[in-house]
Chains A and B, each alone.
Chain A
Amino acid sequence: MSDETKPGLKSPLRRKLLMGMAALPAVSMLGRPAFADVPATSAVNTTGLAVTDSEVTVGILHSVTGTMAISETGSVEAEKLAIEQINAAGGVLGRKIKFIQEDGASDWPTFAEKAKKLLVNDKCAAVMGCWTSASRKAVLPVFEQYNGMLYYPTFYEGLEQSKNVIYTGQEATQQIIAGLDWVNKTKGAKSFYLLGSDYIWPRTSNKIARKHIENHLQGCKVVGEEYFPLGSTQFNSVINKIKLTKPDVIYAIIVGGSNVAFYKQLKAAGIDLSKQTLLTISVTEDEIDGIGGENIAGAYACMKYFQSLDNANNKAFVPAFKKMWGEKTVIGDVTQAAYLGPWLWKLTVEKAGSFDIDKIAAASPGVEFKGAPEGYVRIHENHHLWSKTRVGRAKADGQYELIYETADLVEPDPFPKGYQ
Chain B
Amino acid sequence: MVINSRFFNRSELLGFLALAVLLLLILPLSLDIFRLNLVAKYLTYAFVGIGLVLCWGYGGILSLGQGVFFGLGGYCMAMYLKLEASSVANTKIQSTPGIPDFMDWNQITQLPLFWKPFHSFPVTVLAILLVPALFALIIGAAMFKRRVGGVYFAIITQAIAAILTILIVGQQGYTGGINGITDLRTLHGWDIRTDHAKFILYFVEVVLLFGCIVAAQFIRLTKLGRILVAMREQEDRVRFSGYSVANFKIFAFCAAAVFAAIGGAMFTLEVGFMSPSFVGIVPSIEMVIYTAVGGRMSIFGAVWGALLVNFAKTSLSESFPQLWLFGLGALFIAVVLAFPNGLSGIWADHIQPRIDRLFASRKSKSAAGLVADGAPAE
Contacts and interface: CB of A to CB of B under 8 A. Distances in A.
A120 interface: yes
B93 A200 contact: no
Given A105-B317, A112-B271, A198 B169 contact: yes
A102 interface: yes
A121 B34 contact: yes
A113 B314 contact: yes
Nearest to A207: B107
A203 interface: yes
A109 B275 contact: yes
Interface residues of B, number: 38
A103 B321 CA distance: 5
A36 to B, nearest CB: 37
B318 A200 contact: no
A140 B182 contact: yes
Interface string A85-120: 000000000000000011101011110111011001
A208 to B, nearest CB: 11
A218 interface: no
Given A137-B179, A200-B172, A101 B193 contact: no
B322 interface: yes
Given A109-B271, A141-B272, A103 B317 contact: yes
Contacts of B322: 64-65, 103
A268 to B, nearest CB: 26
Contacts of A134: 178-180, 275, 277
B364 interface: no
Interface string A57-89: 000000011000000000000000000000000
A107 B177 contact: no
Contacts of A112: 271-273
Given A65-B322, A103-B317, A229 B169 contact: yes
A159 B93 CA distance: 10
A377 to B, nearest CB: 26
A141 B182 contact: yes
Given A141-B182, A229-B170, A109 B273 contact: yes
Interface of A: 64-65, 101-103, 105, 107-110, 112-114, 116-117, 120-121, 133-134, 137-138, 140-141, 145, 157, 159, 198-200, 203-204, 207, 229-230, 415, 420
Given A117-B34, A141-B184, A141-B273, 5 more contacts: A102-B321, A103-B321, A198-B169, A198-B172, A200-B178
Q: Which 6 A-B pairs have the closest CB atoms?
A: A103-B321, A137-B182, A134-B179, A199-B178, A120-B34, A137-B179
Interface of B: 32, 34, 37-38, 41, 93, 95, 101-102, 104-107, 166, 169-170, 172, 177-180, 182-184, 193, 271-273, 275, 277-278, 314, 317-318, 321-322, 324-325
15 contacts: A64-B322, A103-B317, A108-B273, A109-B271, A110-B317, A113-B271, A114-B317, A120-B34, A133-B179, A140-B183, A141-B193, A199-B172, A200-B102, A207-B107, A229-B170
